[in-house]
Structure 1
C-alpha cells in the first residue's frame, strides 16, 4: 500500500491472494498508517470486482464492498489499459523488488514480514525522491479517518473452517488442533494479534501461536484427552435397526413377474 499524498508505504507478504487474505492485508495496512483513506484505488482484480454492469460501473465483490462500508472508504479501480493511473503503487512494487528483496534471508512469512515492517519504518523516514520530504512527516497531513473500533471489523479477520476427523483444521496452509470432540464440525478461525483463536458457537475452544510455515501441524495440549474412553470414536456410533421392526409392503407375486418381462424380446 502507498498513500497518495505522503507516499508512506506498507508492505506485507503472503502465500495466498484470495479475498480473505487481501482484506486482512488491507486492514493491517490501515492499522499501520493509523487511519483510513477517503478513497482506495486498486487494480481490476477479482478480489475487488467481479465484472462491470451495462452502465460500465464495477460489480463489487460483496466482501470488499462490505469492508468499504464498514471502514468508510470509497472504492475505485484503475481504468482499463491505463497503467499510469496506478503509477505510485507500481513504482512502489519495483522499489520493494529492487531495494528490499535482493539478498534477503528469512525463516518464514512471519520473519519476512517482521523484516518488511522494519524496512518500511526506515524508508518512511527517508527523503522521498518525488516530494522532497519525508513520508512520515507528510503522513500527518493525510487527514486519515480514524479506524472504527476493532469489534466493528473483526469479522473480516475471521474464516469458517471444518475440523477434520483427526481433530485438525487448515488455516493459511497450517494445520491447527482443537479438542477431538469438535471433529466434523464447522468452527470460526480468528487471526488476532499474532494468535490463532478457534471458536465454536461464539466460545473460544483453542488458542495457538500463529505459525507461518506451510504444512506445519500444531497440536493442542490434551487435544485427544478422553478419546480412548470414547472407544476412539470421533462420530456417534451407527445405530442398529432390527429388520423385524420395519414394515415391508406386501405385493402380489404377479407384480414381480411383470417386472421381469419388461425389456424382454
Structure 2
C-alpha cells in the first residue's frame, strides 16, 4: 500500500472515483508491472508470465470465498428487522426481542433461541419490505397489510407456544373498543 500511495497517488488530484481507477489501471499496466522490482531484480509482469500464469487453474465453479454474514437485530414494533436498508418480517410474538440473522446465498434466515423463525429471499432492491403476512396475524390492523385483505372475522391460527383461548378474531377486539379500523 505504501508503494501505491507514494508512487501512484501522491501529488495527483482526481475529479472522480472513475478517474482515480483509470489512473491506477494505467499506472499498474505501464509502470508498476514493468519496473525492475528491488527484491527479485526483474519486472513483476515478466515473473508472472514465466512462473505463475501456467500454474493458475480456473475457479469458475467456486465462489471466491464463503459469503456468509451473521448479524444481531432487534425486532421492531412492526414485526420486522432491518438488513441492508430492507425490512424483513418475523413472527409478531418476537417484537422487542433480539434475533440472529444469517445472510447467505441470497437468503435471509432469522433465528431466535437457536431455532429458525423466518426465512426470506434476499431482496436485491433497496428500501423495500419483504413481508410474510402470516408473521403479522395477531397485530391489530394486520389485515390491511399488502394488496389482499384478510377477513376481519377470520380466527387466528393457534401458535405452538400459546394457548388457543388467548387467540381471538380481531373483530372481537374491535367490538370491545366500539369501532373498527
TM bucket (normalised to shorter chain) is 0.3 to 0.5
> Higher relative CO (CA 8 A, sep ≥ 6), structure 1 or 2?
1
